[in-house]
C-alpha cells in the first residue's frame, strides 16, 4: 500500500516497513536454520556412516519440518490465546491490557459494526448477521487454524524424524498414534509452550513498570504505573 501524508507521498515500503522487516528477518532466520540444521544432520549422518544430504534435500526432510513446525505452532498458539483471553482478562497497569470496565466483547458502537459501521468499514463488518459474527472472530480463527495446522505437521513429521532415529538405534518404529503418546512429542510441544507463555506473560507484566520511548507496545515514559492500556 502506498500512502500520502499531507503533500508528501510516502513510499509503499515505508508504510509497510514493520511487516517487510519481519518478513526479511524470517527468511534470513529460516535460511540460517536450514544451513545449520543441514550441518548438524550431516554430522550425525557421518557419525553413523550414512549418506550426507544437501541443503535442498534437508529442506524437504522431516527433521527440518518438525523443527520449523514445533516453533510455529507455539507462536500461533501464543497469539491465539492472547487475542482471545485479553477480551475478558485484564492486567491493571499493563500497556497490553484493557481497563477492567472494558472487559468483554464491547458494544456495537465501539466495535463499529451494525448500525454503527462506517462507510469505509470492511464489507462483512457492515453486512450484519452471520457474516459480521464470523468476521468478528476472523483473527482468532485464522491464528488458531495456523496453530492447529502447524501442530498437526509437527506430529506427522516428528513421527517420521523419531522413527529415523529409532531404527538407526535398532528399535521398532512407532505409529502416529503411538508417537502422540511418546515423550518426544510432548517434550517438543511443551518446551515451546512454556517459553511462549513466559514471554507473553512477562510482556504484560513488564509494561506496567518499564517503558520504551516511542514504542506502541509501551505506555508513554511519564505515564503512571497505574495507567492501563489505552488509558495512556
Partner 1 sequence: MRRHPLALWHGRARTRLLRVLVVIVGGLTVATASGCGTEAEGRAAAAVALRFSQVGQADPGQACSLLSERARTALHGSAGSDCAAGLAALAVPVSSRVLTVTAAGHSAQVRLDRDTVFLGRFANGWQVTAAACKRASADPAVPYECDISGG
* HSE (side-chain half, CA atoms, 13 Å) at 103: 9
Cell 516497513 -> residue: 17
Other residues' Cβ atoms within 10 Å of the Cβ of residue 214: 8
Interface with partner 1 (CB under 8 A), residue from 3, 32, 173, 224: 173
Interface with partner 1 (CB under 8 A), residue from 81, 161, 204, 208: 161
Cell 462483512 -> residue: 124
229 binds partner 1 (CB under 8 A): yes
Residues contacting partner 1: total by CB under 8 A = 49
To partner 1, the closest distance from the beta carbon of 49 in angstroms equals 4
Residues 95-124 that bind partner 1 (CB under 8 A): 95, 122
Interface with partner 1 (CB under 8 A), residue from 160, 203, 205, 223: 160
Distance, in Å, from the CA atom of 86 to the CA atom of 65, rounded to the nearest integer, reads: 31
Q: Which stretch binds partner 1 (CB under 8 A): 129-137, 151-159, 185-193, 198-206?
A: 151-159
Distance, in Å, from the CA atom of 60 to the CA atom of 35, rounded to the nearest integer, reads: 13
170 binds partner 1 (CB under 8 A): yes
50 binds partner 1 (CB under 8 A): yes
Other residues' Cβ atoms within 10 Å of the Cβ of residue 168: 13
To partner 1, the closest distance from the beta carbon of 198 in angstroms equals 19
The shares of helix, strand and coil residues in the chain, as percent rounded to the nearest 5, are 65, 5, 30
Amino acid at each position: 500500500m502506498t500512502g500520502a501524508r499531507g503533500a508528501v507521498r510516502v513510499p509503499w515500503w515505508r508504510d509497510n516497513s514493520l511487516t517487510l522487516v519481519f518478513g526479511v528477518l524470517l527468511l534470513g532466520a529460516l535460511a540460517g536454520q536450514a544451513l545449520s540444521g543441514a550441518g548438524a544432520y550431516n554430522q550425525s549422518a557421518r557419525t553413523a556412516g550414512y549418506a550426507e544430504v544437501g541443503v535442498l534435500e534437508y529442506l524437504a526432510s522431516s527433521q527440518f519440518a518438525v523443527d520449523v513446525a514445533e516453533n510455529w505452532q507455539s507462536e500461533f498458539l501464543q497469539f491465539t490465546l492472547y487475542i482471545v483471553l485479553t477480551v475478558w482478562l485484564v492486567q491493571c497497569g499493563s500497556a497490553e491490557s484493557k481497563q477492567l470496565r472494558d472487559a468483554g466483547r464491547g458494544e456495537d458502537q465501539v466495535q463499529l459494526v451494525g448500525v454503527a459501521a462506517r462507510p469505509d468499514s470492511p464489507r462483512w463488518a457492515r453486512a450484519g448477521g452471520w457474516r459480521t459474527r464470523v468476521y468478528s472472530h476472523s483473527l482468532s480463527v485464522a491464528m488458531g487454524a495456523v496453530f492447529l495446522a502447524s501442530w498437526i505437521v509437527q506430529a506427522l513429521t516428528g513421527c517420521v524424524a523419531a522413527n529415523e532415529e529409532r531404527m538407526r538405534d535398532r528399535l521398532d518404529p512407532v505409529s502416529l498414534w503411538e508417537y502422540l503418546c511418546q515423550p518426544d512429542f510432548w517434550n517438543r510441544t511443551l518446551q515451546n509452550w512454556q517459553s511462549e507463555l513466559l514471554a507473553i506473560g512477562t510482556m504484560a507484566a513488564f509494561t506496567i513498570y518499564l517503558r520504551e520511548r516511542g514504542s506502541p507496545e509501551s505506555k508513554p515514559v511519564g505515564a503512571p504505573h497505574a495507567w492501563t492500556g489505552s488509558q495512556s
